[in-house]
Structure 1
Amino acid sequence: MSDSSRSLADWLHWQQTLHSKPIELGLARVRAVAERLNLLTPRALTVTVGGTNGKGSSSTLAAKIYQAAGYKVGLYTSPHLLDYNERVQVNGVTASDARLCAAFADIEAARADIPLTYFEFGTLAALWVFAHENVDVQVLEVGLGGRLDAVNIIDADAAIVTSIGLDHVDFLGHDREAIGFEKAGIFRAQRAAIVGDLAPPQSLLDHARAIGADLQVIRQHFAVHPHGDGFDWENPGQQFKNLPLPGIAGEAQLRNAACVIAAVQALQARAPVGMDALCQALPALRLPGRCDQRGRWIFDVAHNREAATVLADFLAQTPKVLTIGVLGMLHDKPQAQVIQTLSAQIDAWVLVSLPGARGTAAAQLAAQMPRHARVRCCETMQQAMAEAEASAGEQGRIVVTGSFLTVAAALAEFRIAD
């Protein structure tokens, strides 16, 4: 099949067969192809966002702020929930199949015999689209880690690390110090390095200082003060009072917003942003699958302890009603920790099997449940959602969580119903 006749589905299927490993960290291969495509020195201002949790919402908020300020903005995020095109957006509009296929064709012609992973192909495609669209600002979400992630071929003008938790330990290390060092790899000398973790690993701080980055840590160099239905943000030279709360609820989202504002302030000389843009973007923040409320359904992709804590705190702050949890998880995620963290907020569980080599069967997940938990097991999401609705009755609510795959499957059922 010629490159010109391939559909987007054809390209994506083929990309997953091109490299012998689904994940291979390292920058040499993807940088070589980017150089051939003249993508390494973008005209656009670049904001890179890493961290264990909060990357997606922070990236989306940064893009919304710059768009509200009148800039043309490219946003690259991953993974997607329903459609691959979600990963690449310009001014909030997802890239078309044709645009992505054109990018893939150029990348294929440039790579020659260099093997690329699925994620590397997608990262290059996003950079290609942003270059061809001539965006003013590009916001790039790190896929995994930071130092060796494909996004890191671009030197960020400002980089944000939202949080550091224990996730992807097989790739990043088995403690926060090792993981912190990997995440600090997106920082650059003499450029803003924004940290939103309340107790950042020393390795992250040491690396930022060693390379001469402009290190800014929440509660040390900038702060956020919530009050009523708004909040104040301040650093030693600037203060914004009575900003509206982010459209996604929770204390973690306030910290994420504080970091994004710090990055925007650090780049004011190159891309001025006024308070009106902040006030427009903050309440407009929405992200499918992140504390995503649709009627009595709540969708949240929480797949590690830190994300589960954020979800549990959110549920605790809402009126108490009968709550049914629909949970599906991958076997390499901290299942017992997630269940323990959420259990106080969940009255009964509906467990669903996830497919694939990493998926966990519902019966296996049930073995992680507390002894007296009310548990039902289902093999498909359609069955799980029907069981959850029956258990919730007319007044209860349903929380779908545990994995991007879980939430994606549930949202796909919603789309079918619509």
Structure 2
Amino acid sequence: MENPKTLADWLIRLEALHPKAIDMGLDRVREVKQAMDVQFACPVIIVGGTNGKGSTCAMLESILLRAGYRVGLYTSPHLLHFNERMRVNGASCTDQELIAAFDKLEAIRGDVSLSYFEFTTLAAIQLFADAKLDAVIFEVGLGGRLDAVNVLDADVAIVTSVDIDHTEYLGDTREKIGFEKAGIFRSGQTAICGDPVPPASLVEHAEKIGADLWLFNRDFNYSGDKQQWNFSGRGRRRNSLGYPSLRGANQLLNASSVLAALEALRLRLPVGAQEVRTGLALVDLPGRFQVLPGQPTVILDVAHNPHAAATLAQNLDNMNFAPYTYAVFGAMQDKDIDGVISHLKGRVDHWCVTDLPLPRAASAAEIRDKLISAYGEVPPAGDSERSIQTFASPAEAFANALSRAGENDRIAVFGSFLTVAGVMEFRNSEHH
């Protein structure tokens, strides 16, 4: 069977390669990785955690690029284009580069069956190894211990936060999930946990395997006022730093983990104070409490579990007053939708809930029922103060919110990468 010629055709093939979309376990991936015979001469940084992974990766990349290093970054999922998942030197890889890496891997894997995520992760490893980089950053897809990214041995592994999500794969308590996340730690290597209340299971695992564990408030922390903030690590302080351009309450926790990682790597990847400042000031990550210019204010946030929803709620509270808040909300069925609603129901006046284009999405009607039970009543039709309406797509839900919102109101788009992506596509098509 000859290989696809376009990236789109390749991605269709990868969707059908393996019987299960998510197949936890590393045996097949390890087998192919051994056949690939790739080694990184540069530091490998792996970032796991329930929330904050993307922001942490983006800050690391931004600072290292400002310091003049050649950097590879692998993240998932993407918002608009698959190419966003693999970046070299701050730019998404081209279709041609991705196709070349896919072709190479296809020749190596033989008859080993790989899922979409496993195949693309190994292709990223191949692509970055060929690119001769100074640092590579890999974001864990799901969990840690059994995630395809974990075939790599990290020089520095960061777990950003541990909360309840993906319970069917990772367990239903923070202790069980913490153990899964800690699977990316390696003996003798730096292991950083940015969660202020780390699960005992994570700490025990790190100690058992002899990882060099850095804990927030024990080995590193931050302090700050409205204007600036300071980081202190084991042997290093960085003072009078500007706030990261990523907005939101948890970003100093994420930034502190980043600076701890850079401290651990200081002999291999030295980074100066100015590069840290510029890197944090210029970091850009779509869909993480992203406030778009213009009126009404539009906020894009991929928050899709209660922990992220609590942060979103806090971030909304820190904004200027808005007479009415509209929510464009769509979510996957396996998420704790009631938990997400509980954090936001006091802050949203008008809900525009939407279906999403995936079989495992919750329907807008199901979400509407959950909202009605959370509020304990159905808002009367035509009520200008409160409403719950259902839509077939994020674009339609957003268009409706836009048509009703006053210029001082705000529209928060959240619940899933797909919800945010649907609105971004709609806005792009309107602007062209």
Deviation at 1:355, TM superposition (A): 2.6
Q: How does 1:24-103 map to 2 (within 5 A)?
A: 24-39=23-38, 41-103=39-101
Partner of 2:2: 2
Amino acid at match of 2:419: T
Contact 1:324 1:391 in 2 (8 A): no
Residue 253 of structure 2: which of 252, 255, 279 is its match?
255
Deviation at 1:344, TM superposition (A): 2.1
Amino acid at match of 2:418: L
Q: How does 1:13-412 map to 2 (within 5 A)?
A: 13-39=12-38, 41-295=39-293, 296-321=297-322, 322-369=324-371, 370=375, 371=377, 372=379, 374-412=387-425
Question: 257-266 or 389-398: which moved more?
Answer: 389-398
Write the distance in 1 (CA, Å) between the matches of 2:328 and 2:413: 5
Contact 1:231 1:245 in 2 (8 A): yes
Write the distance in 2 (CA, Å) between the matches of 1:395 and 1:301: 23
Contact 2:222 2:229 in 1 (8 A): yes
Deviation at 1:290, TM superposition (A): 0.6
Partner of 1:414: 427
Contact 2:330 2:394 in 1 (8 A): no
Question: How many residues end up aligned between the 2 structures?
Answer: 416
Task: Give a deviation string over 1:205-233, Cα, whole Å, max 9, x none.
Answer: 00000111111111111111121221000
Write the distance in 2 (CA, Å) between the matches of 1:331 and 1:108: 33
Contact 1:143 1:149 in 2 (8 A): yes
Amino acid at match of 1:253: Q
Question: After the TM superposition, which segments of 4 or more aligned residues of structure 1 sit over 3 Å from their partners?
Answer: none
- Tell me the TM-score normalised to structure 2 length: 0.94
Deviation at 1:271, TM superposition (A): 1.2
Question: 114-123 or 224-233: which moved more?
Answer: 224-233
Task: Give a deviation string over 1:167-188, Cα, whole Å, max 9, x none.
Answer: 0110011111110000001011
Deviation at 1:275, TM superposition (A): 1.0
Task: Give a deviation string over 1:99-139, Cα, whole Å, max 9, x none.
Answer: 10011111111111100000011111111111111111000
Task: Give a deviation string over 1:62-94, Cα, whole Å, max 9, x none.
Answer: 111111111100000000000000000011100
Amino acid at match of 2:14: Q
Question: 343-352 or 298-307: which moved more?
Answer: 343-352
Write the distance in 1 (CA, Å) between the matches of 2:123 and 2:92: 13
Contact 2:247 2:290 in 1 (8 A): no
Deviation at 1:382, TM superposition (A): 2.5
Write the distance in 2 (CA, Å) between the matches of 1:62 and 1:411: 25
Q: Percent of aligned positions with the same letter in both sequences?
A: 44
Deviation at 1:162, TM superposition (A): 0.3
- Tell me the TM-score normalised to structure 1 length: 0.98
Amino acid at match of 2:15: Q
Gaps of 5+ in 2: 380-385
Partner of 2:382: none
Amino acid at match of 1:310: T
Amino acid at match of 1:308: A
Task: Give a deviation string over 1:362-397, Cα, whole Å, max 9, x none.
Answer: 111111112355211111223211210122122211
Task: Give a deviation string over 1:133-170, Cα, whole Å, max 9, x none.
Answer: 11110000000000111111111000100000110110
Amino acid at match of 2:21: P
Write the distance in 2 (CA, Å) between the matches of 1:236 and 1:123: 33
Which secondary structure state, in structure 2, belongs to the residue aligned with residue 140 of structure 1? strand
Contact 2:233 2:263 in 1 (8 A): no
Deviation at 1:2, TM superposition (A): 2.2
Write the distance in 1 (CA, Å) between the matches of 2:319 and 2:224: 17
Deviation at 1:251, TM superposition (A): 2.4
Which secondary structure state, in structure 2, belongs to the residue aligned with residue 251 of structure 1? coil
Amino acid at match of 1:22: A
Write the distance in 1 (CA, Å) between the matches of 2:191 and 2:273: 22
Deviation at 1:410, TM superposition (A): 0.8
Question: 378-387 or 151-160: which moved more?
Answer: 378-387
Alignment root-mean-square deviation, CA: 1.1
